[in-house]
């Protein structure tokens, strides 16, 4: 079904670019086409890289104070247009409006934080071995950055990369996910309105991601790739980046364990797991994927958890009271259904109503499963949907071993009232992020990222800025 079909231009070198070839952006809640964007090719990818390379010559020479002021201004414009950005995000991505507003605030917090941090890119002075020498260490921007982002957080995954890149003095070429290009284009419009010069931020929309990214990966002027998305594509980009030895940051998939120890506050654990599991309908890289609950409290926990899940309202993100929106597309629904069928065929039990589709859109009702074993698909591969598998454990050692038995290592959670258990779990879980009695750890000032096949590097905080800086050692003979 088509309605209000507008074409939104892509943004290269401060210019709005339209192409004859374009593709549709669909609302996953209604299946309506909400707009079209140009289907960029290798030609636009090259134009964008040319523009970013040219702009780098001047942007990298601006003072940290100038860059900070422009980032502050971008922050102000985004803040003024926050509601518009949140609504477009709901329409193309599906998350409930309250969550979209929350994502916009979260996204903008990176712009603010890095506006401030731009002024704190300090070097070092190191005592030399002889009196006639001085050793100085300076930080310099790496150069042009390629940023490739996913659909699940259409704004935050962009600002978490672009704000530190700009603060460091880098310029960027961005390829947003094909499902959610509109939020990205609106962010670029805000950057232009904020006075960020032409060529510093460029956005190429495309339905052929490899065609665009291959151009950037092969371009030796592009010095860094920063990617958020699935582990297989991350590995592909890492291999591609090797030929020109680019710096690489990867924020990849997760399989988060959510461990509820025998001494946990069950009410707090239920609240925590609801927030963690069902944020963005379960389509968050740090979503609880595997819920481990101590055998002694399993029955009480399951009862309270099921009751809380049943009260969650599924619907269009623009409707009042919606807590769970649609999944992004049909393939996402199929993946969750396949995991559900696999688990049930291997003996798992569904609690409450199972996850049927609605008439229109890619909806799934949240499902709780018990009697889950580690051999089931939902315990081995990222679900990215509202399926909550619960399994029991008997000792902390067992929970840690099973939680770590995966190639992923992004986020893990543990609920306990014992300080000793909190320390044991947080020190022994092989994860980049551990939430102890906390199911919402993401903030702009903290290092976000994964161990093992969940990624390389960190985003957020001063760690996130270092990813865009080269270290230069100057040895001065006086």
Nearer to ligand SSN, 108 or 284 (CB): 284
Residue 436 has phi, psi (to 5 degrees) of -100, 115
Query: In a 3-state reduction of DSSP, which class is residue 158?
Result: helix
In angstroms, the CA 88 to CA 259 distance is 36
In angstroms, the CA 445 to CA 290 distance is 27
The reply on whether position 455 binds ligand NAD by CB under 6 A is yes
Nearer to ligand NAD, 146 or 261 (CB): 146
We find the least distance from the C-beta atom of residue 442 to ligand NAD, in angstroms, to be: 9
We find the least distance from the C-beta atom of residue 30 to ligand NAD, in angstroms, to be: 21
Rg, Å, the chain Cα set: 23
In angstroms, the CA 380 to CA 164 distance is 34
Catalytic residue at 251? yes
Residue nearest to ligand SSN (CB): 442
Catalytic choice (92, 103, 251, 459): 251
We find the least distance from the C-beta atom of residue 379 to ligand SSN, in angstroms, to be: 20
Of ligand NAD, ligand SSN, none, which one sits near residue 442, judging by CB under 5 to 8 A according to partner kind? Answer: ligand SSN
- Locus of tokens 């962010």: 187
CA end-to-end distance (rounded Å), the chain: 74
- The binding site for ligand SSN (CB under 6 A) comprises 152-153, 156, 284-286, 442, 448
Nearer to ligand NAD, 177 or 444 (CB): 177
Of ligand NAD, ligand SSN, none, which one sits near residue 253, judging by CB under 5 to 8 A according to partner kind? Answer: ligand NAD
In terms of DSSP H, where are the helices of 96-230? 97-117, 156-168, 181-193, 209-218
Catalytic residue at 285? yes
| Residue (of 175, 412, 402, 171) closest to 286 by Cα position | 412
Token pair belonging to 326 = 């649609």
We find the least distance from the C-beta atom of residue 459 to ligand SSN, in angstroms, to be: 8
Nearer to ligand SSN, 86 or 293 (CB): 86
Q: How many residues does the chain have?
A: 478
| Residue (of 40, 38, 39, 154) closest to 92 by Cα position | 154
Query: In a 3-state reduction of DSSP, which class is residue 293?
Result: strand
Nearer to ligand NAD, 253 or 257 (CB): 253
The reply on whether position 236 binds ligand NAD by CB under 6 A is yes
Residue numbers at the binding site for ligand NAD (CB under 6 A): 148-153, 157, 175, 177-178, 209-210, 213, 228-230, 233, 236, 251-254, 285, 382, 410, 450, 455
Active site members = 251, 285
């Amino acid at each position: 079904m088509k309605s209000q079909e507008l074409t939104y231009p892509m943004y290269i070198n401060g210019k709005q670019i339209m192409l004859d070839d374009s593709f549709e952006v669909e609302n996953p809640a209604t299946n309506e086409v909400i707009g079209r964007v140009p289907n960029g090719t290798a030609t636009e990818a090259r134009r964008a890289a040319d523009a970013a390379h040219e702009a780098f010559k001047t942007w990298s020479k601006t003072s940290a104070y100038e860059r900070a002021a422009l980032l502050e201004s971008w922050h102000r414009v985004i803040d003024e247009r926050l509601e518009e950005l949140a609504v477009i995000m709901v329409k193309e991505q599906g998350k409930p409006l309250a969550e979209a507003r929350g994502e916009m605030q979260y996204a903008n917090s990176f712009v603010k934080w890095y506006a401030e941090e731009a002024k704190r890119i300090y070097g070092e002075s190191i005592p030399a071995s002889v009196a006639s020498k001085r050793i100085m260490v300076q930080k310099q921007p790496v150069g042009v950055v390629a940023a490739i982002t996913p659909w699940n957080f259409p704004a935050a995954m962009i600002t978490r990369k672009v704000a530190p890149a700009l603060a460091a003095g880098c310029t960027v070429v961005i390829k947003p996910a094909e499902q959610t290009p509109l939020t990205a284009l609106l962010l670029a419009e805000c950057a232009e309105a904020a006075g960020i010069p032409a060529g510093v931020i460029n956005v190429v929309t495309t339905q052929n991601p490899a065609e665009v990214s291959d151009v950037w990966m092969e371009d030796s002027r592009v010095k860094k790739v920063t990617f958020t998305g699935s582990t297989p594509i991350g590995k592909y980009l890492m291999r591609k980046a090797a030929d020109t030895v680019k710096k690489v940051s990867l924020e990849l998939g997760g399989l988060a364990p959510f461990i509820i120890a025998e001494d946990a506050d069950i009410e707090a654990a239920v609240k925590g797991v609801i927030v963690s599991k069902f944020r963005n309908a379960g389509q968050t890289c740090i979503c609880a994927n595997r819920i481990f609950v101590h055998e002694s409290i399993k029955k009480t926990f399951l009862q309270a958890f099921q009751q809380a899940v049943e009260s969650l309202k599924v619907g269009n993100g623009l409707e009042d009271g919606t807590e769970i929106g649609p999944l992004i597309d049909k393939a996402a629904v199929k993946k969750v259904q396949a995991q559900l069928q696999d688990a049930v065929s291997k003996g798992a039990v569904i609690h409450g109503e199972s996850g049927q589709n609605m008439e229109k859109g890619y909806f799934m009702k949240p499902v709780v499963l018990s009697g889950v074993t580690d051999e089931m698909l939902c315990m081995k591969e990222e679900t990215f949907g509202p399926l909550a598998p619960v399994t029991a454990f008997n000792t902390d050692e067992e929970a840690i071993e099973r939680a770590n038995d995966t190639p992923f290592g992004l986020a893990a959670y543990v609920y306990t009232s014992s300080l000793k258990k909190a320390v044991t779990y947080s020190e022994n879980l092989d994860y980049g992020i551990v939430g102890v009695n906390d199911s919402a750890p993401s903030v702009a000032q903290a290092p976000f990222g994964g161990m093992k096949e969940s990624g390389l590097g960190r985003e957020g905080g001063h760690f996130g800025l270092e990813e865009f800086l080269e270290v230069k050692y100057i040895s001065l003979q006086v």
